[in-house]
Amino acid sequence: MSEDVHQRAERLISTSRVEGISSADRDWLSSHLEGCVRCSEHAAALERVVATLRSVSISPDARLVEATRRRVQARAHEMREHDARMRALWMSCALSWMLGAVSAPLLWRGLEWIGQRLALPQPVQVVAFAFWWIIPAVVVAAALMWRRSRAPVENGLGRGTH
């Protein structure tokens, strides 16, 4: 038998323990192991190593467990706070949209009245109406983006402490 056949068998033996292999490869390997002492000994040795590793009990350090528990709880707390803030933001947006829908006709009439008093052309009134609604959204979006860009620095990630 060529050396390539044995290398393929060893590769399949290792791969079958980690990722699994196709049924065709499994059939080929089984038939090869029946006729090849060298590869069947390799497979048996690998099985013994895996069994030995599974029998070893590893106990993590209590400080590591406690530190991990604290970090998980802190992250869960952060996530709950973030969810609460997002819920408040969406409620504020919904209230703002409802008030905007109710007040839009009043704003339009007010701008029309101001436009007539100051002899402003109609396009100026339309632009003023649009800006009345756009500017607050732009300011809030800019504030949220600024806050998000500051988050890594506030969490200590920008200071080389990770």
pLDDT value for 64: 93
| Total-model pTM | 0.41
Which sequence spans correspond to the domains of the chain? 3-55, 81-159
| pLDDT band at residue 45 using 50, 70 and 90 as cut-offs | very high
Closest CA to 70 of 58, 78, 60: 78
Of 11, 101, 29, 79, nearest to 93 by C-alpha is 101
- Confidence tier at 153 by pLDDT (50, 70, 90): low
Q: Give the per-residue pLDDT at 152.
A: 65
**Please, which contacts does 93-99 make with residues 24 or more away whose CB atoms are closer than 8 Å?**
96/136
- pLDDT band at residue 3 under the 50/70/90 scheme: low
- Average pLDDT for residues 147-152, to the nearest whole number? 78
Q: Considering the chain, what percentage of its residues have pLDDT values greater than 70?
A: 91
For 51-86, how does the pLDDT look when each residue is reduced to its tens digit (9 = 90+)?
A: 898 888 888 899 999 999 999 999 999 999 999 988
How is residue 49 written in tokens? 């190593």
pLDDT tens-digit series, residues 5-40: 889 999 999 888 888 899 999 999 999 999 999 999
